[in-house]
Amino acid sequence: MAFIYYLFFGIFGTIISTSLPGLLNMYSAKISMNQGKKNAFLFATGVSLAILIETLIALVFARFLDKNPDIITILQKVVLGVFISTTIYFFFIAKDVSKKPVNKKLDSKRNLFFRGFFLSAINLLPIPYWVYISITFSSFKWFSFSHLSVFATVLGSSIGAFIVMGVYIWFFRPKENQRKMALNMNYLIGTVTAIISVFTLIKIIRTM
């Protein structure tokens, strides 16, 4: 039962963090339209593998921090800086991902897999996300850093990413005339990181 619990913990944790139509999701949907669903799933497999590795790194690091609580206070300040910087980036610097053109040149299967892996790997947000989530849930006794829980969560995280990508591949049909969407995805992501920044700042102030 513990394995199932942590597996779903990883699945839903990743679904919550990746369900917004960001660059990777939109890109997988456009690959599906231009090159077929099979090629899009190769891209999604590369993305999911990178998220698996990033989640593993995050949980191993979080387990170390959980055994050294004095470092957590310092890390909270670092995380606060990261999320504030991320908020500023998405609000003021990043371009609208819905306006980024996708190269319609047909890619080989190997290129699609490694492109998915690379684009996901350079997006380091899953690491601070899972460090923050795992330590927070651990403080409420809802998560443990045993080998079983880490393995199940990492596996679930990869499955969750693949599920989200699959939904976009099967059901989402982006069009050029939809660029002017009602909601700018960068602003949504910036809002989420701003909210996390506020909660982290409140937590730091309370512990002072």
pTM over the 0.75 mark:
no
Which pLDDT score, from 0 to 100, does residue 136 have? 79
Q: How long, in residues, is the chain?
A: 208
Which pLDDT score, from 0 to 100, does residue 177 have? 41
Average pLDDT over residues 90-119: 66
- Has residue 79 got a pLDDT over 90? no
Which pLDDT score, from 0 to 100, does residue 165 have? 93
Report the mean per-residue pLDDT for the chain.
Answer: 80
Q: How far apart are CA 44 and CA 62, in angstroms?
A: 26
Which pLDDT score, from 0 to 100, does residue 102 have? 45
- Has residue 142 got a pLDDT over 50? yes
Q: Residue ranges of the alpha helices (H) in the chain?
A: 2-18, 23-35, 37-67, 69-88, 109-121, 126-139, 147-171, 185-207
Which pLDDT score, from 0 to 100, does residue 182 have? 39
Check: CB of residue 170 under 8 Å from CB of residue 37.
Answer: yes
Which pLDDT score, from 0 to 100, does residue 150 have? 94
More reliable by pLDDT, 188 or 62: 62
20-47, pLDDT tens digit by residue?
767 788 888 888 888 888 999 999 999 9
**What sign has the CA pseudo-torsion 149, 153, 154, 159?**
positive
For a pLDDT cut of 70, what percent of the chain falls above it?
Answer: 77
**What sign has the CA pseudo-torsion 121, 166, 168, 7?**
negative
Q: How far apart are CA 196 and CA 117, in angstroms?
A: 27
Cα R_g (the chain), whole angstroms: 18
Average pLDDT over residues 89-102: 56
More reliable by pLDDT, 83 or 44: 44
Which pLDDT score, from 0 to 100, does residue 81 have? 79
Band (pLDDT 50/70/90 cuts) for residue 12 is very high
Check: CB of residue 158 under 8 Å from CB of residue 49.
Answer: yes
44-69, pLDDT tens digit by residue?
999 999 999 999 999 998 888 878 77
Domain boundaries, the chain: 2-73+104-183
- Has residue 154 got a pLDDT over 50? yes
- Has residue 181 got a pLDDT over 50? no
